[in-house]
Chains A and B, each alone.
Chain A
Amino acid sequence: MNRIFLVFFVFMLLLSLGEFILKRKGMDGRQQRVIFIFYTLTIICLIALQFQYYQILPTSNIMNIFSPHVKRWVDQFV
């Protein structure tokens, strides 16, 4: 992952997170939980991305689990 992007992105993420922490008291409880979940997911994805190409977390095919099966089925069908 590009380091300039990483520094810039982490900086903006922290800024946005800080703003949320400061403003959260004026927010509805449900909305706070939703925002908190999104920040958590972002941080998890960001950490997982650092290991994506080292095969420690082999996630590159996570969305394409079914694609080869469907492709094989299509190839057989036609």
Chain B
Amino acid sequence: MIHKQVVNHRQIAWLVGSVLMTGMMISFLRSVVQVARMDAWFSQIIPIIYALFIAYVLSKLVEAYPGKNIFEILFIIGGKWIGGAVNLLILFYIWIILAIDIKGAADFLHISLLPNTPLEVVLLVFVLLMMYYGKTSLEVAARVNEFYFPLYFIMCISLYFLLMNEYNIERLEPILTSRLDRIVVSNFLPVGVYGDIFLIGAFLHAIVEPRLFYAAMKHGVIIVGFGTTIILVVLLGVMGYIIAGRLNFPIYILVQQIHITDFLDRVEMILFSIWFPAFTIKVIVAYLAFLVGVGSFGGQRHYNTLNAPCGWFIVVSSIFAFPNIAHIDQFISYSLPMIVLGFQLPLALFLLVHVSRKNKGREQSLIPEGTKLYRFYRSMVWTTTVCLSGCVIVILIGDFFKDKSALSGGATAVAYITLLLIALLTSYGEMQALNHGKQKLGRAKQAGSFRQ
């Protein structure tokens, strides 16, 4: 797509939120609960740090190769053959994300809502919707997401209040009874899902401000970490770890437990109608990334002609690769984190080493140093870093004191949630400070953070 696009920093943050958060709501949280039991809600901090690392690498790539996406950058670095081979692996990885999401959504709809509709038909309709969006661009997806993601996030947080009458804090207690190694392993399982942030790499050619781009992605990642933690707290508090660890669709069953009054029945349908569009945006972003990747092999950025063949391929290949929901659950829980840690992490490290040499001496600042805004920005950056590190330290301290004091578990829980919430607010402050700095520098009249 050659035409100019306008996607601002807030839309980037919410796109990242949508990409990471909506997919794991189908069935993924079950395996996390199985591993860490009632302490599963401490499972988001290492994935957050990992996703921030990938976001940092992507922003450095933008700085080093402005106007190029990850596929083009790898062709430049590795040449036609090595770069092509690595790009093929990235395409395979994106195809995995697409196949999991499309087949997972089709299975979920078929089993829970449309049992008489053939699974293949549900899947085909979903892919046709995706192909319709495939004719557009990231801008359209970002704008639709701007409407649905805030609603979805509010819905996730409001679950705590909607399920208050079913909630029992004793199901979470005693806090930090699981051994530390269980919590550590439960932190590695979501890395596979948080690795989806790599999809944004396909749209790097459209980014203007790398620092603002990083701040926006950082805010998006922390939104996901906070939202998922709250959902896990609610899930464990309502169902307990034994039931939550055995359900195929724990979140769906969780929202079915909402019984506010006798006359308001099936609230899950209202909540589902918000989740589904937000989830669709995630799949569309993955599909657009796939088209951009395939287009780079075809030697151009116009991907309209590739839309139909890629769409048909994804319909049959997703049914072929994942025959049922158990396969998907097993794959997301155990194989995907290994793929991410075995392929994505080394690739990101290699790219970081490469671009740090290339970017040497190239300093970019959106805010003039010494100003009040700069001091505010620095304090926001430091507070976010301290809060995220504090989350890790709080778990370690809580684990050390768990046998010594009954209060330590509760104190750890309160400190962890508070630090995560502060990190969420300060990351927003960081993003806004950079945006104000950009506007003060007179760059506001440029197209938003993205142009394509």
Task: Indicate, yes or no, whether A interacts with B.
Answer: yes
A1 surroundings in chain B (CB, below 8 A): 120, 319
A68 surroundings in chain B (CB, below 8 A): 330, 334
A6 surroundings in chain B (CB, below 8 A): 120
Within 8 A of B (CB), among A1-17: 1-2, 4-6, 8-9, 12-13, 16
Q: How many angstroms between the C-alpha atoms of A41 and B310 in the bound complex?
A: 10
- Whether A30 and B313, one on each chain, are in contact in the complex, defined by CB atoms closer than 8 angstroms, is no
Contact mask B297-326 → A, CB, 8 Å, 1/0?
Answer: 111100001101110110111011111000
- Chain B at the A interface: SS class: helix
Within 8 A of A (CB), among B161-207: 179, 181-182, 185
- Whether A64 and B331, one on each chain, are in contact in the complex, defined by CB atoms closer than 8 angstroms, is yes
- Whether A71 and B305, one on each chain, are in contact in the complex, defined by CB atoms closer than 8 angstroms, is no
Q: Does A74 contact B (CB under 8 A)?
A: yes
Q: Quote the shortest CB–CB distance from B448 to chain A (angstroms).
A: 30
B338 surroundings in chain A (CB, below 8 A): 66, 70
Q: How many angstroms between the C-alpha atoms of A61 and B119 in the bound complex?
A: 19
Q: Does A78 contact B (CB under 8 A)?
A: yes
B327 surroundings in chain A (CB, below 8 A): 60-61, 63-64
B306 surroundings in chain A (CB, below 8 A): 31, 34-35, 38
Q: Does B156 contact A (CB under 8 A)?
A: no
- Whether A74 and B334, one on each chain, are in contact in the complex, defined by CB atoms closer than 8 angstroms, is yes
Q: Does A21 contact B (CB under 8 A)?
A: no
Size of the B side of the interface (Cβ < 8 Å), in residues, is 39
A28 surroundings in chain B (CB, below 8 A): 298-300
Range class of the A interface residue count:
35 or more
Q: Does B355 contact A (CB under 8 A)?
A: no
- Whether A59 and B316, one on each chain, are in contact in the complex, defined by CB atoms closer than 8 angstroms, is no
Contact mask B25-47 → A, CB, 8 Å, 1/0?
Answer: 00000000001000000000000
- Whether A16 and B312, one on each chain, are in contact in the complex, defined by CB atoms closer than 8 angstroms, is yes
Q: Quote the shortest CB–CB distance from B183 to chain A (angstroms).
A: 10
Question: Provided the pairs A30-B299, A41-B317, A52-B323 are in contact, do residues A12 and B120 lie with their beta carbons within 8 angstroms?
Answer: no
Q: Quote the shortest CB–CB distance from A4 to chain B (angstroms).
A: 7
- Whether A30 and B298, one on each chain, are in contact in the complex, defined by CB atoms closer than 8 angstroms, is yes
Q: Which residue in A19, A63, A66 is a CB contact (below 8 Å) of B322?
A: A63
Q: Which residue of A lies closest to B96 (CB)?
A: A63
Q: How many angstroms between the C-alpha atoms of A33 and B294 in the bound complex?
A: 11
- Whether B181 and A49, one on each chain, are in contact in the complex, defined by CB atoms closer than 8 angstroms, is no
Q: Which residue of B lies closest to A34 (CB)?
A: B298
Q: Which residue of A lies closest to B37 (CB)?
A: A78
Q: Does B79 contact A (CB under 8 A)?
A: no
Q: Does A67 contact B (CB under 8 A)?
A: yes
Question: Provided the pairs A4-B121, A45-B317, A63-B322 are in contact, do residues A16 and B308 lie with their beta carbons within 8 angstroms?
Answer: yes
Q: Does B158 contact A (CB under 8 A)?
A: no
Within 8 A of B (CB), among A37-74: 38-39, 41-42, 45-46, 48-49, 52, 59-64, 66-68, 70-71, 74
Q: Does A27 contact B (CB under 8 A)?
A: yes
Q: How many angstroms between the C-alpha atoms of A6 and B35 in the bound complex?
A: 40
Q: Does B124 contact A (CB under 8 A)?
A: yes
Q: How many angstroms between the C-alpha atoms of A33 and B337 in the bound complex?
A: 33
- Whether A59 and B320, one on each chain, are in contact in the complex, defined by CB atoms closer than 8 angstroms, is yes
Q: Which residue of A lies closest to B188 (CB)?
A: A74
- Whether B313 and A45, one on each chain, are in contact in the complex, defined by CB atoms closer than 8 angstroms, is yes
- Whether A78 and B35, one on each chain, are in contact in the complex, defined by CB atoms closer than 8 angstroms, is yes
Q: Which residue of B lies closest to A45 (CB)?
A: B316
Q: Does B365 contact A (CB under 8 A)?
A: no
- Whether A35 and B316, one on each chain, are in contact in the complex, defined by CB atoms closer than 8 angstroms, is no
Q: Does B118 contact A (CB under 8 A)?
A: yes
Q: How many angstroms between the C-alpha atoms of A67 and B335 in the bound complex?
A: 5
Residue from B124, B298, B333 having most chain A Cβ neighbours under 10 A:
B298
Binding site for A on B (CB under 8 A): 35, 96, 118-121, 124, 179, 181-182, 185, 294, 297-300, 305-306, 308-310, 312-313, 315-317, 319-323, 327, 330-331, 333-335, 337-338
Contacts A/B (CB < 8 Å), 17 sampled: A2-B121, A6-B120, A9-B312, A9-B315, A16-B308, A20-B308, A30-B298, A31-B299, A35-B298, A39-B312, A45-B313, A60-B327, A62-B320, A64-B327, A67-B335, A70-B335, A77-B185
Known: A8-B124, A52-B323, A70-B334. 6 other contacts (CB 8 A): A42-B313, A60-B323, A62-B320, A62-B321, A63-B327, A77-B181
